[in-house]
Structure 1
Amino acid sequence: MALTVTESRPHSLFSFGTLMDERVQTALFGHAVPSSAASLTGYTTRPLPITDQSVIDASGLDVHLTLEREYGAVVEGAVLRLSDEDLAAADAYEVDDYARRRVLLSSGETAWAYLDAKPLRSAERIVIVGDSIAYGRCDPRGGWAAHLAATHIARNEAAHRVFNLAIPGSTLTGVSEQTPALLAARLPDTLLVAAGINDSALPLATSQAPRDGLAHLADNLGSLAATALSHNARLVVAGPAWLDEARTGDYGGLRFTRARALDLRESIQAWCAENYVDFLDMWEPLRDSAELFVDGLHPTAEGHQALYRHLEALSR
């Protein structure tokens, strides 16, 4: 079932810090807001220094709290019931280190919460789904996903895990259908979807029915968002990489073009912005670097290294 982004009023916002203070509420919203006790499992808190003077003035504190993942932990807080205007004021109050995302509370209610703006920095258990590029094809070292796994696990050998479940040839339709059965055993807190370049492919034969992967993009991403939320995992979508169209050739009767890949990139980015989902733009690292491709579509080992370095900078 696709995630429904139409929201009831008032909005539900899980707060674990200064927004629970009635003095801060009065300063931001002009009044105290209705609230009730709530908790969020799978998270803990860590201190975050604040440099924005207006936020310090409103809260009276120069250190706030931010959430990070910890399996088995619980953060106690409250659900605030906010109007559209209140939610906009809360967004303006939170500094750029935070991003408003959906979470699943211990009660089973979904709510907004302000999470670390860099989505992999606070992650513990990451599941990767996607296609042959996420799988690491053409790189004997396992591609950008293997580099990510090595770095992530090295930061905390006891708690950090990365599960690469990418399958060559996958489309977002296939990924959205297969992923729900894969998550429970892996206890993910982050679902990293490497948005499939296969969704942009066109048939070479004019007699073939045209592929419409882009037409179903919103439904497939919505389904993945709902799947992630049902596990209280954060959805992160990595967009397509640049490709060398002059060398993409014929892949089993399919043709990959830069124009369609750009359409895919822009459509995913727009959907993520509209639905408050993290988008990691992977286009630039390989732009105009044909030497970093084996066949125009699949990066070399050095190309995967460039993708990893870019991903690490975006998400840490």
Structure 2
Amino acid sequence: MTEPRPHALFSFGTLLDPKVQHALFGRAVPTTPAILPGHATRPLRITDPAVIATSGTGVHLTLARKYGAAIEGGVLRLSERELAAADAYEVADYARRRVVLGDGEVAWAYLDAEPLRAAARIVVVGDSIAYGRCDPQGGWAGQLAAAHIAADEVEHRVFNLAIPGSTLAQVAEQTPGLLGPRLPDTLLLAAGINDSAQTATGEDGLAGLTAHLDSLAATALRHGARLVVVGPLWLDEGRTGDFGGLCFTTARAQRLREHLAGWCTERYVDFLDLWEVLEGRPELLVDGLHPGPEGHKELYRQISG
């Protein structure tokens, strides 16, 4: 039986320390020099006593996005068991995600667990809810853009490319040609309820979701962007009626939510669950589907953390 292919893990901090490696893996791990483009570092205070005891310091570094910057580090080749030990060592402030190194290799890296806190250039794709329908202020995406750009008018950008009526199939087809000129480091995919709709002819929008999501994940990775999936909203089924031949139900929207959450967990992709924000609050929905201004304010609070 052949040995499983080792996991490539990029590190720029304490995991490169032989003392930490011996404590975690029982050996010193050979490393290959590597560069992670599009990133800078910032300090992160650690409070976990076990992590401090292993690393010898209460201040570690975490990654933030910065166009034109790069981090020098090394790639460790780890077994499944060793990668699990590295996961256990990293505190909850970090999340293991895929990145593209300077030589084109795809590797794991521990990024900020709050994806938008680490972002600089954000592209939003999705449907009418992400577009901001029913809110003159541009919805939650408009509020995100205002706050994000105000925090750093030089480095921060938000491009809202959501199109009303879009499904994940259409977003997956359209997005690759849109990202290049915008130099995104974060792709915020608002997976709205259009994919949960069932047509009068019985077409099932839930079919093929995995393929569309995989395509979008590959697109994001090619551009060095972190994919963040925003889940669907709760809907007031008694008021949705017929939207141009489309039928929306709470049960089908829940199925979409569960599919997205499961896919994100399996692929180590960030999932922002918005379902409970509006659940049981029909007054925040204009027509049973689309949030009004107050609903979008609540969604923004959840998304911004």
TM-score (norm: length of structure 2): 0.98
Does 2:268 align with 1:250? no
Following superposition, the deviation at residue 23 of structure 1 comes to: 1.0
Give the one of 74, 78, 85 matched to 1:78. 74
Does 2:43 align with 1:47? yes
Does 2:17 align with 1:29? no
The equivalent residue for 1:224 is 216
In the alignment of these two chains, the number of paired residues is 302
Supply the AA of the counterpart residue of 2:246: L
Give the one of 187, 192, 197 matched to 1:191. 187
Give the one of 242, 260, 269 matched to 1:277. 269
Following superposition, the deviation at residue 178 of structure 1 comes to: 0.4
- Please list the CA deviations of residues 220-254 of structure 1 after superposition, one character each: whole Å capped at 9, or x if unmatched: 11111000000110000000011110000000111
Q: 1:124-143 maps to which residues of 2 (within 5 A)?
A: 124-143=120-139
Aligned equivalents of 2:105, 2:203: Cα separation in 1: 38
The equivalent residue for 2:293 is 301
Unpaired segments of 5 or more residues in structure 1? 1-7
The equivalent residue for 2:94 is 98
Aligned equivalents of 1:115, 1:171: Cα separation in 2: 29
Q: 1:145-164 maps to which residues of 2 (within 5 A)?
A: 145-164=141-160
Contact 2:99-2:108 at 8 Å conserved across structures: yes
Following superposition, the deviation at residue 214 of structure 1 comes to: 1.5
Following superposition, the deviation at residue 34 of structure 1 comes to: 2.3
Aligned equivalents of 1:48, 1:88: Cα separation in 2: 22
Following superposition, the deviation at residue 275 of structure 1 comes to: 0.4
Contact 2:192-2:233 at 8 Å conserved across structures: no
Following superposition, the deviation at residue 293 of structure 1 comes to: 1.1
The equivalent residue for 1:61 is 57
Aligned equivalents of 2:65, 2:5: Cα separation in 1: 29
Supply the AA of the counterpart residue of 1:280: L
Supply the AA of the counterpart residue of 1:17: G
The equivalent residue for 1:3 is none
Q: Helix, strand or coil for the counterpart of 1:224? A: helix
The equivalent residue for 1:237 is 229
Aligned equivalents of 2:226, 2:105: Cα separation in 1: 16
Cα RMSD, aligned residues only:
0.8
- Please list the CA deviations of residues 94-116 of structure 1 after superposition, one character each: whole Å capped at 9, or x if unmatched: 00000000000000000000000
Aligned equivalents of 1:176, 1:37: Cα separation in 2: 34
- Please list the CA deviations of residues 264-295 of structure 1 after superposition, one character each: whole Å capped at 9, or x if unmatched: 00110000000000000011111111111111
Task: State, as a whole percentage, how many aligned pairs show the same letter.
Answer: 69
Comparing 284-293 with 175-184, greater Cα deviation is found at: 284-293
Aligned equivalents of 2:262, 2:73: Cα separation in 1: 32
Aligned equivalents of 2:84, 2:189: Cα separation in 1: 29
Aligned equivalents of 1:211, 1:56: Cα separation in 2: 55
Aligned equivalents of 1:81, 1:17: Cα separation in 2: 16
Unpaired segments of 5 or more residues in structure 2? none
- Please list the CA deviations of residues 184-208 of structure 1 after superposition, one character each: whole Å capped at 9, or x if unmatched: 00000000000021000012x3xx1
- Please list the CA deviations of residues 72-93 of structure 1 after superposition, one character each: whole Å capped at 9, or x if unmatched: 0010000000000110000000
Following superposition, the deviation at residue 9 of structure 1 comes to: 1.5
Following superposition, the deviation at residue 310 of structure 1 comes to: 1.3
Aligned equivalents of 1:212, 1:123: Cα separation in 2: 35
Does 2:287 align with 1:291? no
Aligned equivalents of 1:19, 1:41: Cα separation in 2: 19
Moved over 3 A (4+): none
Supply the AA of the counterpart residue of 1:180: P
Aligned equivalents of 1:10, 1:223: Cα separation in 2: 25
Aligned equivalents of 1:55, 1:242: Cα separation in 2: 39
Q: 1:204-215 maps to which residues of 2 (within 5 A)?
A: 205=200, 208=201, 210-215=202-207
Does 2:196 align with 1:200? yes
Following superposition, the deviation at residue 213 of structure 1 comes to: 2.3
- Please list the CA deviations of residues 129-161 of structure 1 after superposition, one character each: whole Å capped at 9, or x if unmatched: 000000000111111100000010010011100
Following superposition, the deviation at residue 32 of structure 1 comes to: 0.9
